[in-house]
């Protein structure tokens, strides 16, 4: 009990500090909410711009765009399936000792 009472002394001596902390936390939370709202608005604007662009595309252009997206998605999925790739400065030699890049 004594230790906890001693630990509480600085907070009792500095009530303004606790109020300042609470006010700062409130301001911080308000800024976070404002930033999130701005992000939502920006995303909505981007979606509107993209939708307007899509509305002007011909069916052939839409099909080409969809095909390109599918190719990008497949490439991304294949890359993720391979896992992290480490670059190596070592020689890429086969069993015969010849450099594989010399073929």
Q: What is the pLDDT of residues 23-66, one digit of tens each?
A: 899 999 999 999 999 999 999 999 999 999 888 888 899 899 99
Domain assignment present for residue 86? The answer is no
Q: Which is nearest to 67 in space by CA: 50, 75, 48? A: 75
Separation of alpha carbons 98 and 92, rounded Å: 9
Distance CA(17)–CA(11), nearest Å, equals 8
The number of distinct structural domains making up the chain is: 1
Task: Give yes or no for residue 74 having a pLDDT over 60.
Answer: yes
| Better pLDDT: 37 or 14 | 37
**DSSP category for residue 99:** B
Q: Angle, nearest 10°, between helix axes 2-13 and 15-55?
A: 70
Q: Is 66 within the bounds of a domain?
A: yes
Q: Which residues share a beta bridge with 99?
A: 93
Per the domain annotation, does 57 fall within a domain? yes
pLDDT of the residue at 21: 86
Residue 10 maps to a domain = yes
Q: What pLDDT, in 10s, does the model give residues 76-103?
A: 999 998 877 666 555 555 555 555 554 4
Indicate whether 11 belongs to any domain.
Answer: yes
The residues near 100 (Cβ < 8 Å, ≥ 6 apart) are 92, 93, 94
Residue 103: what pLDDT? 43
Q: Which domain holds residue 64?
A: 2-78
- Residues 54 and 64: their CA atoms lie apart, in Å, by 12
């Amino acid at each position: 009990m004594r230790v906890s009472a001693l630990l509480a002394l600085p907070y009792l001596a500095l009530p303004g500090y606790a109020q300042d902390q609470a006010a700062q936390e409130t301001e911080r939370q308000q800024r976070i909410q404002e930033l999130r709202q701005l992000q939502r608005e920006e995303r909505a604007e981007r979606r509107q711009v993209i939708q307007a662009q899509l509305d002007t595309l011909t069916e052939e252009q839409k099909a080409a765009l969809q095909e390109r997206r599918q190719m990008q998605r497949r490439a991304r999925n294949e890359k993720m399936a391979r896992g992290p790739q480490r670059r190596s400065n070592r020689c890429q030699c086969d069993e015969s000792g010849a450099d594989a890049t010399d073929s």
